[in-house]
A and B are shown apart, each in its own frame.
Chain A
């Protein structure tokens, strides 16, 4: 076997949670090769969920969100290339071209470039129009919301949009949420629970417009005017675009991967030799064939980063606990355990009008799920219930 000199035994494109967990698991597993991480942002891997919550409220600075102290990377011999992104992949020769034109040869590549907000071209680029993905985005949005006055229009009632609406409302802004689907979080929750969330926002003064699309946009000197599909108009000083994300695979155009999420096997392997994928950019097989869906949540990115490291160490993936996400809105901690597709039966435990309750969700063909509202104590019980009902 010929010995080729490489720049990285493991090259990780992307410096988010999946990359961090991959590095940790490799070193914990005794891997002693060279690990290089391409971090597009000028900061070491950090925890994003707080960006749409405590950072906007001014309760946390983005500098506090790093997963590990800077010295951790030195101690574990992880080379972080900050402000550096991949531009092209040539998997036939195991080379990644960087944005500055230089090349890195890898033995194994992990694609963990995450996702980016889905663009809405009708809004065009404007100082008042925000997206929320990175720490820099959050700082910019925080600077706008900190005044605690004015109007915010949130386009899209997904997790990010709803969390920002909650934070901005608490800060004193007048908030309108505009969602094209008939219920919020329509891909994650059955309609009855989506409507409960819409009600929670309305109780707190947020104007929630469902089944309503933006049909026209005009930027004035001090505000943005939007014409909606129901004929009404909304005027706002600040606009947040939060209509979902797309996998950040544009740099892979010539490689044969993408343009959508990258399909991988249970160990994170793509169709290309020595190339793996994890996190928002990847689509892993689910426990059921019909559940092969990209789950763009924190917990999935963490698990998949670990899975790829285990594959590189020659280990099988760990068992997968039911997927889970959480959200903080208007003082409620909302936790969903398991997948809750449309068509599931909802059984309530407690009164949704009160501040805490549990919704048990069952489906004729799929494993059950549970949504906990201010009931973190019931999490072990919910997990045990889900585990018991699918062998």
Chain B
């Protein structure tokens, strides 16, 4: 678990797909927020599925953007 999901709130349209796929990690109200963590592969799958491309994954240690 080295990835940290960050919501780009200016882009989030509250589609809710992230909460459907990973209810322990994301909660959607007006926009999505991060409430937990999950294995890197799962985070990557959810970020790829975000219709608004509003989930940015960064490497915890280095702060480097790994997705998109």
CB pair B16–A299 under 8 Å, yes or no, is no
* With known contacts A377-B65, A380-B56, A298–B10 Cβ distance under 8 A: no
Q: Which residue of B lies closest to A20 (CB)?
A: B15
Select one of B8, B11, B13, B20 contacting A306, CB under 8 A: B13
Q: Assuming the A-B contacts A318-B30, A376-B68, A380-B56, are A299 and B14 also in contact, with contact meaning beta carbons closer than 8 angstroms in the complex?
A: no
| A residues 248-300 touching B (CB-CB < 8 Å) | 298-299
In the assembled complex, the Cα of A178 lies from the Cα of B11 at a distance in Å of: 36
Q: Are A299 and B51 in contact (CB under 8 A)?
A: yes
Interface residue B45 (Cβ < 8 Å from any Cβ of A)? no
CA A87 – CA B11 in complex, angstroms?
A: 37
- Interface majority SS (helix, strand, loop, mixed), chain A: helix
Q: Is the CB of B11 within 8 A of A302?
A: no
**Per-residue interface assignment for chain A, residues 362 to 391, with 1 indicating a CB less than 8 Å from any chain B CB and 0 otherwise:** 000000000000001101100110010000
> In the bound complex, do residue A383 and residue B8 qualify as a contact, i.e. CB atoms below 8 Å apart?
yes
CA distance A318 to B32 in the complex (A): 13
Closest chain A residue to B29 by CB distance? A28
Which residues of chain A are within 8 angstroms of B30 by Cβ–Cβ distance?
Answer: 318
Please measure, in the bound complex, the distance between the C-alpha atom of A387 and the C-alpha atom of B15, giving whole angstroms.
Answer: 21
Give the CA-CA distance A28 to B31 in the complex, in Å.
Answer: 12
A68 to B16: give the CA distance in the assembly, Å: 11
- Report Cα–Cα, A387/B11, bound state, in Å: 10
Residues of A within 8 A of B15 (CB): 21, 24, 302
- Total contacting residues, chain A, CB less than 8 A: 21
Q: In the complex, which of the residues A319, A379, A387 contacts B53, with contact meaning CB atoms closer than 8 Å?
A: A379
Tell me whether A303 is interfacial, beta carbon within 8 Å.
yes
| Number of chain B residues close to chain A: CB under 8 A | 17
Most buried by B among A21, A379, A380, A387: A380
- Is the CB–CB distance between B13 and A380 below 8 Å? no
- Summed over the interface, the residue pairs from A and B with CB atoms below 8 Å come to a total of 44
**Residue pair A377, B68 in contact (C-beta under 8 Å):** yes
Residue of B nearest to A21 (CB): B15
Cβ contact within 8 Å between B68 and A379 = yes
Does B28 interact with chain A (Cβ within 8 Å)?
Answer: yes
With A28-B28, A377-B65 as given contacts, are A299 and B56 in contact (CB-CB < 8 Å)? Answer: no
Flag if A306 contacts B51 (CB, 8 Å).
Answer: no
Question: For residue A302, which residues in chain B have a CB less than 8 angstroms away from its CB?
Answer: 13, 15, 51
- A25 interface hit (Cβ, 8 Å): yes
- Whether B10 lies near A383 (C-beta < 8 A) is yes
Given contact pairs A28-B16, A302-B15, A380 touches B65 in the complex (Cβ within 8 A): yes
Contact B53 A376 (CB under 8 A): yes
What is the bound-complex CA distance between A379 and B6, given in angstroms?
14
The reply on A33 being an interface residue by CB < 8 A is: no
B52 at interface by CB-CB < 8 Å = yes
The residue in B15, B56, B65 that gathers the most chain A C-beta atoms within 10 A of its C-beta is B15
Query: CB-CB < 8 A to A28: which residues of B?
Result: 16, 28
Cβ B13 vs Cβ A303 within 8 A:
yes
Cβ of A89 to closest chain B Cβ, rounded Å: 28
Which A positions have Cβ atoms within 8 angstroms of B? 21, 24-25, 28, 68, 298-299, 302-303, 306, 318-319, 321, 324, 376-377, 379-380, 383-384, 387
25 residue pairs of the A-B complex, CB under 8 angstroms, read A24-B16, A25-B14, A28-B16, A28-B28, A68-B20, A298-B51, A299-B13, A299-B51, A299-B52, A302-B13, A303-B13, A306-B13, A318-B14, A321-B10, A321-B13, A324-B52, A376-B68, A377-B68, A379-B68, A380-B8, A380-B11, A380-B65, A380-B68, A383-B10, A387-B10
